Amino acid sequence: MSRDGNGWHISFGVHTGRRPDAPNGKPACGVDFGVTASAFVSTEVAPRLMAPTLTASERERLKTLEQRKARQVTYAKKHNGGKYGNRLRKTIAQIAGLTARGANRRRDFTHKLTTDLAKNHGLIGIEDLRVKNMTASAKGSIESPGRNVRAKAWLNRAVLDNTPGERRRQLEYKARMYGSVVVPVVPFHTSQTCARCGQVDPESRKGCGRLFACTRCGYEDDADHNASVEIEARARRTGGSDINSTRSIPRVRVPATGRRRTREAPKPARAS
């Protein structure tokens, strides 16, 4: 049993007797989950972004309610010996309701994303975050540890909100349902590795922007997309030998620069 701002929930497990589906024969992909609410799928040309969990007017309303709550708490301390009155309780319930609404939308995004990934791909590469303390060493634009401490405090919250563990749990059970397979890969340096030539160099992410520009071969791509392609390549190497033949390559992509570019297949063995 659990409780949130919308009320109580009872959940229980049911044994459905459902067996894993036969391999669906769909293409492989790699997914780079952003630190905020986003995911870049290697087979796609644009990131999937979660809409803000609360609309502008809902955020405004939340702010008003928080202010009202603060006033009512002060009043309660002054005149009621700290005892919460009905109006204060009502305000708290309204705040909880709005917060729960945002959480529901976040859950909805995650469920739609994981269902879509499992249904439409035969292999899904993801970063194995169990071997990486993501909240301690932030990825992307705040990669170097020990800096941007405030930004990381925000990152910690964002990561907890997006719960990589929950994403992975959903992907794993849905993959079984839809004949797909989830391959967690070693997550180190995925954002600094060139998906075309395999060069690992933090300088390829100069300025820590959206652009990945390889210092060796000059390959340019959206940084998150480049990472997702690298994740896919690692997944194919570690777990997808039987999937390799299912896709015709090369694919055409539109990188962040807007120029169209043809990318060759990730080579099975590369110089590091």
Select 35 or 227, whichever has its Cβ closest to Zn ion: 227
32 is catalytic: yes
* Active-site residue identified among 127, 220, 222, 230: 127
Q: How far is the CB of 185 from Zn ion (least distance, A)?
A: 19
Angle at CA 80, nearest 5°, toward 79 and 85? 120
Tell me the site size for Zn ion, rule CB under 5 A.
8
* Active-site residue identified among 32, 128, 222, 230: 32
CA nearest neighbour of 115 among 166, 158, 173, 162: 173
Q: Are 64 and 51 in contact (CB under 8 A)?
A: no
Q: Is 155 in the site for Zn ion (CB under 5 A)?
A: no
Phi, psi values for residue 117, rounded to 5°: -65, -45
Q: How far is the CB of 216 from Zn ion (least distance, A)?
A: 5
Q: Are 151 and 142 in contact (CB under 8 A)?
A: yes
Select 49 or 217, whichever has its Cβ closest to Zn ion: 217
Q: How far is the CB of 270 from Zn ion (least distance, A)?
A: 10
127 is catalytic: yes
- Residue 116 has which token pair? 């879509």
Select 45 or 200, whichever has its Cβ closest to Zn ion: 200
Select 96 or 200, whichever has its Cβ closest to Zn ion: 200
Q: At what angle do helices 149-162 and 164-177 cross, to 10 degrees?
A: 30
Q: What's the full length of the chain, in residues? A: 272
| Nearest-angstrom CA–CA distance, 71 and 135 | 35
Q: Which residues, 206 to 265, sit near Zn ion by CB under 5 A?
A: 214, 216-217, 219
Q: Are 253 and 225 in contact (CB under 8 A)?
A: yes
Select 113 or 194, whichever has its Cβ closest to Zn ion: 194
Secondary structure letter of residue 251 according to DSSP? E
Q: Which residues, 184 to 213, sit near Zn ion by CB under 5 A?
A: 194, 196-197, 199
From residue 104, how far is each of 6, 49, 100, 154, 171 by CA, in Å? 10, 16, 6, 20, 18
* Active-site residue identified among 128, 221, 222, 224: 224
224 is catalytic: yes
Residues identified as active-site = 32, 127, 224
What residues line the site for Zn ion (CB under 5 A)? Answer: 194, 196-197, 199, 214, 216-217, 219
